[in-house]
Structure 1
Amino acid sequence: MIVRMGILRKSEKLNSEEFRKHWLEVHGPIAAKIPELQRYQQNHVIDSEQLGINFPRSSLSVHGFSQLWFDDLSSMKRSFTADTVNTLAKDEQNFIGGMQLISLKPNEVIPVANDKPLIKRMSLLKRRSDIDIETFEREWAEVHSQLVKAMPGVAGYKQNYVLERDIERDRSVNYEDESIDGVVELWFQDTKSLESAFASEAGQKTMAHVRTFIGEITTFIVQTHQIV
Structure 2
Amino acid sequence: MFTGIVQGVASVAAITDRPGLRSFTLQFPAGFCSGLEIGASVSCDGVCLTVTALHEGERADFDVMQQSLSLTTLAGLGQGSPLNVERAARDGAEIGGHPLSGHVDFMGTIAEIRRPENNHVLRIAVPQRWMRYIFAKGYIAINGASLTVAEADRKAGWFEVWLIPETLRMTTFGDKAEGASLNIEIERQTQVFVDTVRDAIDERLGPLLPALQALLAQQGLSVEDLAEPVQLPRS
If the length of structure 2 is used for normalisation, what is the TM-score?
A: 0.30
Instruction: Compute the TM-score of the two structures, normalised by the length of structure 1.
Output: 0.30
Q: State the structure with more CA Rg.
A: 2
